Structures are given as C-alpha cells and as structure tokens.
Amino acid sequence: MSEIKTYTTADLTQHSSKDSLWLAVGGKVYDCTDFVDEHPGGEEVLYDEAGKDATESFDDVGHSDEAREMLNKMYIGEYEASIFNGGKTSKSATSTTPRPTPAGGSADSGRLVSWVKGWF
C-alpha cells in the first residue's frame, strides 16, 4: 500500500488552471482536471474554486451521494492548511485522523517540521 500524500495550501495554488485543477474538499485533495468538461454545474464553478479549499462551496450546493462518490476517483491525498495562511483552515477541511504529538513538542511543531522538510 502506498503512503498517503499530504498537500498544503501552497501546493493547491500551483494547480489552479485548466491544465491542472485541484480542489480540497473536506480535508482531502482531488485532481479534477479531467472532470471539468463533465461537471454538471459547468466548468466556471470549478475554475472559481481551483487551487483552493472548496469545502464550503461544495457543501453549500448540496451535492448528491453520487457526486461525493465520484470524488473518490479523483482523490490524490490529504489537505493540510499551509503555514502561509497562518495555519487557518475550516473545521471541515481538517482531517479526522488524529496526528501524534512529537516528543517534547506540540502538535503544531510537528506540522512545522513537516513543512520545513518539504523545502529541502
């Protein structure tokens, strides 16, 4: 089984075009690039949310169970709010999987270590 990749806000913002369109919904990241032409609500809706946490917009529309199941095919990893936005994220964008607290530190220090490792 492969390791689940975690993406930050910075990662998402790099995928906000018609050539590469990613969205975060409910703490998970989806590559919706190949779905744009099939989206029943039109492509503009996806372009407006591209490269962002689209949880609130997705939930506000009231998507069907079938639409939610379709997301599974586009799943590429988990979403973790970036340090670039002050670590702020909506409650629904936070993964429900508890993160262990590093020895001698807080849970936030582990997030910082993960973020720093990604730069080297």
Over the chain, what is the mean pLDDT? 75
pLDDT 10s digits, 7-55: 999 999 999 999 999 999 999 999 999 998 888 787 888 888 999 999 9
**Residue 116 CB coordination number (10 Å):** 10
Six-digit token pair at 7?
């993406």
Instruction: Specify which residues 112 forms β-bridges with.
Output: none
Amino acid letter, 113: V
pLDDT of residue 1: 60
Q: How confident is the model at residue 97 (pLDDT cuts 50, 70, 90)?
A: very low
Instruction: Specify which residues 78 forms β-bridges with.
Output: 6, 28
Helix (H) / strand (E) containing 111:
helix 107-117
Helix (H) / strand (E) containing 25:
strand 20-25
Domain ranges in the chain are: 6-117
Of 81 and 4, which is predicted with more confidence? 4
* CATH for the stretch 6-117: 3.10.120.10
Q: Residue 26 and residue 38: Cα distance in Å, rounded?
A: 21
